[in-house]
Structure 1
Amino acid sequence: MFTGIVECMGSIAKIQEMDMSESGGQGLSVIIKDCPQILTDCHIGDSIAVNGICLTVTEFDTNTFKIGISPETVRRTNVGQWKETQRVNLERAISNEVRFGGHYVQGHVDTTALIYSAEQDGNSVVYTFQLATKDKQYMKYIVEKGFICIDGVSLTITNVDDHKNTFSIAMIKHTQENVTLPLKQVGTDKVNIEVDLTGKIIEKQIVAALNDQIDNVESPLANLINTLIDKKLSSR
């Protein structure tokens, strides 16, 4: 579990494909460097969020760590756009001593979004992102003033356009200086998106509860529907 508060930026030192026997598919092995501040208490098997993706440390020293990325993660995230020397956002999994300044972030990326536009607004920059048509189902979890995690950064949604599959955030100057988004290209680069888990949980509970009510002919919902039908028929 993470907070979406980036601890530092590292650089991609090396990317290479893992062989079929090692990864079970076209997975990747990646080495991240220039991040000593998050490695002081590192252990093999620890989780570190890299651009919002929860990944497992397989090797490390005082300045670098190595991770393996599965084919499923490559397909679901923006890993396919990663290049050596590129900067990435890094955050260790939370501990009991961490102040919870962001929101609950799993590091389980739902999909990617295109950087649609970036407009200056005083010292802030308003970024707008667009989901692909095939990912429209995620728009129902994206609400104005709600949380969203973009490349591992916890941000507040300022505007939503369900017709265009777009949403916006306003990034203050401090955040601009400490995350990778300002280094990316508008109209070309994609970012990793993790929608707020709360919406998913509520939807699942409502659907399950409604299905249980519908399946039970003696349930309050079934009785209410039958009563409404009877009233409608008797009024004819």
Structure 2
Amino acid sequence: MSQKNSDGKRSARERLQEQRQREESRAKRKRALIAGAVVVGVLGIAAGVGVLVAGAGKDKKESAGPLVHPQGAMGKDAVTIPVGKPASKATLSVYEDFRCPGCAQFENAFRDTIHALEAKGQLKTEYHLVTLIDNNLGGTGSLNAANAAACAQDVGKFSAYHDLLYKNQPAETDDAFGKKARLLELAGQVPGLDTPAFRTCVNEGTHDSWVKKSHEAFGKSAYHATPTVLLDGKSIYGDQANPLTPEKLRQMVAGAAKN
């Protein structure tokens, strides 16, 4: 065989070998693409399941259980907690959040005056509990504290526990009331409140749905800030040009009694 024919046969073999290598490479790439598509599909399905599970978890977390009204709750949808003698001629309506610094400022300034007027039968107070701070800053302190206050209402201890929460209010950004152990610890300072029934009510969030309903009612109202304070339906707090004082409040209530 001539050198030229030998070289031609080698070149043909080499070309055939190169062609086979290219075909094998294409086949490998095709298998890799198919495998990748399968993986992506599986991951896509897994991701879809993950979204469903996460969504289900979120729904479960947001679910607050059955609607249980505190004992004695009144008004439309029973979202109002009354304090004082029902026959009192003047009515103070207060929309509050237990994490709201402005609410604590109002309570600390007017608490003694309000209680004195309530004791004389001149004023009754209607409390509407909301959860603005939880919604704005995150956390559960507004909700948990409001539920605990509603639990205290069940045994006639709302006013004392309400006042204690505001006296011990943490900084607005500190979600200390989100810890139910802290709420129970404070309850120990109210005689007769820290009972097994109260602890169960706090720990299980018995009134969580009611608190959320109270907040929803606030959102549908004409008021959008806390504290909102009304005397016989008229806003009396928050006017910097004519600030409310304990003496002015006493005069307003006396005027309502005369009328």
TM-score, scaled relative to structure 2: 0.25
Higher strand share: 1
Higher helix share: 2
TM-score, scaled relative to structure 1: 0.27
Larger radius of gyration: 2
